[in-house]
Amino acid sequence: EPEVTQTPSHQVTQMGQEVILRCVPISNHLYFYWYRQILGQKVEFLVSFYNNEISEKSEIFDDQFSVERPDGSNFTLKIRSTKLEDSAMYFCASSLGQGMNEKLFFGSGTQLSVL
């Protein structure tokens, strides 16, 4: 089965530094997402991306966050100035369709630790 690939699997950074989390969605998928899970808490929606623009974002996704699809294969999440509370597992996901046809394929996640 095709997979969503995320790199790196672990990222350690100092507070205030910029980080970029990388994802390679499934090649024919059109919709892309970022979710995160703070340790011991629920998986939370961050943002969805379609047709080279953000289609929806949560209240978590403030000005410190941005997403980009710089080429035909990568989908990145940038955090400009990391905070301690950004420490979490970040999951990238993609889907072929949306709505009723939505079946998300998730990557294995990037564990971000902000020190």
Among 21, 77, 88, 93, binds other proteins (CB under 8 A): 93
- Cα torsion for 23, 109, 46, 4, to the nearest 10°? 40
Among 39, 42, 63, 71, binds other proteins (CB under 8 A): 42
Q: Is 107 in the site for other proteins (CB under 8 A)?
A: yes
In the bound state with other proteins, the residue whose beta carbon lies nearer, of 46 and 114, is 46
> Which of the ranges 12-20, 68-76, 77-85, 106-114 carries the binding residues for other proteins, by CB under 8 A?
106-114
Question: What gap in Å lies between CA 68 and CA 79, rounded to an integer?
Answer: 12
Question: What gap in Å lies between CA 79 and CA 82, rounded to an integer?
Answer: 6
Q: Is 19 in the site for other proteins (CB under 8 A)?
A: no
Q: Is 58 in the site for other proteins (CB under 8 A)?
A: yes
In the bound state with other proteins, the residue whose beta carbon lies nearer, of 6 and 82, is 6
Q: Cis check for the bond before 2: say yes or no (omega within 30 of 0).
A: no
Residues in contact with other proteins by CB under 8 A are 4, 6, 31, 33, 35, 41-45, 48, 55-56, 58, 91, 93, 98-100, 102-109
